[in-house]
């Protein structure tokens, strides 16, 4: 595979005052296959006080990898804007999207390089091990995320996503109006171009859940708003018949996965509650159609 970029791999990590991002960085530079010659890390600190960015910058300077770890600051941003800033800054042929609450496996980079030198694929999706914290909401949330993540392999979920950079020229960047669900909206555009991720189940990322139950609940509310935004785009198609629009509205509020593999009654009840919260977010988004431009 001929390389036309300065680097092969660019890890893009958006974060909002999450100190765990240091663990994410450490897991990358300690992974077998990391090399300053062909790897770089770009952290985009967004929507938080500048002192977190400055402290992170000091911490990262201790690694003596200034040319390979870039810390960017986006004062008034969101996760989509942060991802896009990272993509635009990246020198790599491939962008690897990792969240700041994730850690990559020790053999991740070595295995990824082997994949890339054997097959020049457009988009790859690795596996995620969802790690709950010590409360039933987190346990249920991780069970749900695992169920959705591994049953919907056509979605380009960003906790572990490898994208050849030139694809963004064709499909576009992430929609910066979205605060949540930017990856599923981008996946729809991929689908429109007939592009689907290659699933790479031995590229593993460990994803630690939120400790705050309130954070888990509000995240699902925002998922609902993002869902309303994405479906508004579909419903804006004048060619849709009335029957087709009814089917779209049904999908908008439904699409709950089969929970038969969830053994705990408590987990099932929490998952259904989280979907109720999501649908409240959907209702809010539908009421605010005019705002969702």
Give pLDDT tens digits for 76-98: 888 999 999 999 999 999 999 99
* pLDDT level of residue 290 (50, 70, 90 thresholds): low
pLDDT at residue 46 greater than cutoff 60: yes
What's the confidence (pLDDT) of residue 4?
A: 44
Whole-prediction pTM: 0.88
How many CB atoms are located within 10 Å of the residue 124 CB? Answer: 22
Q: How much is the pLDDT for 3?
A: 43
Taking alpha carbons only, the member of 293, 113, 135 closest to residue 216 is 135
Tell me what the mean pLDDT of segment 25-51 comes to: 92
Give the pLDDT confidence score for residue 2 in this predicted structure.
Answer: 39
Instruction: State the pLDDT at residue 280.
Output: 95
CB crowding 54-82: b at 16 or more within 10 Å, else e? eebbeebeeeebeebbbbbbbeebbbbbb
Quick one: pLDDT band at residue 99, thresholds 50, 70, 90? very high
The CA distances from residue 87 to 75, 82, 178, in Å, are: 17, 9, 17
pLDDT for 1 equals: 38
User: pLDDT-based confidence at 104, cuts 50/70/90?
Assistant: very high
Q: Which is nearest to 199 in space by CA: 259, 151, 167?
A: 151
pLDDT at 117: 87
Instruction: Decide if pLDDT at 274 tops 70.
Output: yes
Rounded to the nearest integer, the mean pLDDT of the chain is 89
Q: Is residue 265 scored above 50 in pLDDT?
A: yes
Band (7; pLDDT cuts 50, 70, 90):
confident
Q: What mean pLDDT is predicted for residues 42-59? A: 89
Share of the chain above pLDDT 70, in %: 95
| Three-state secondary structure call for residue 248 | helix
Q: Which residue has the higher pLDDT, 250 or 9?
A: 9
């Amino acid at each position: 595979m001929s390389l036309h970029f300065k680097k092969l791999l660019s890890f893009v990590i958006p974060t909002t005052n999450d100190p765990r991002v240091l663990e994410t960085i450490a897991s990358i530079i300690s992974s077998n296959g990391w090399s300053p010659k062909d790897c770089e890390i770009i952290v985009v600190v967004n929507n938080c006080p500048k002192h977190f960015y400055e402290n992170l910058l000091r911490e990262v300077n201790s690694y003596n990898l200034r040319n390979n770890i870039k810390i960017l600051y986006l004062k008034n941003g969101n996760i989509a804007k942060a991802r896009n800033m990272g993509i635009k800054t990246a020198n790599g042929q491939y962008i690897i999207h990792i969240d700041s609450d994730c850690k990559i496996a020790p053999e991740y980079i070595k295995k990824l390089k082997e994949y890339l030198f054997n097959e020049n694929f457009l988009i790859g999706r690795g596996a995620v091990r969802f790690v709950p914290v010590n409360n039933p909401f987190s346990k249920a949330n991780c069970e749900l995320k695992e169920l959705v993540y591994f049953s919907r392999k056509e979605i380009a979920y960003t906790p572990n996503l490898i994208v050849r950079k030139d694809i963004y020229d064709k499909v576009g960047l992430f929609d910066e109006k979205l605060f949540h669900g930017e990856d599923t909206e981008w996946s729809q555009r991929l689908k429109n171009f007939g592009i689907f991720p290659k699933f790479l189940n031995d590229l593993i990322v460990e994803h630690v859940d939120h400790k705050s139950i309130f954070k888990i609940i509000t995240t699902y509310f925002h998922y609902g708003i993002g869902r309303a935004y994405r479906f508004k785009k579909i419903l804006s198609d004048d060619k849709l018949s009335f029957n087709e629009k009814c089917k779209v509205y049904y999908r908008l509020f439904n699409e709950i996965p089969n929970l038969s593999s969830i053994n705990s009654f408590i987990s099932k009840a929490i998952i259904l509650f989280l979907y109720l919260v999501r649908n409240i977010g959907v209702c809010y988004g539908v009421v605010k159609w005019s705002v969702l431009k």
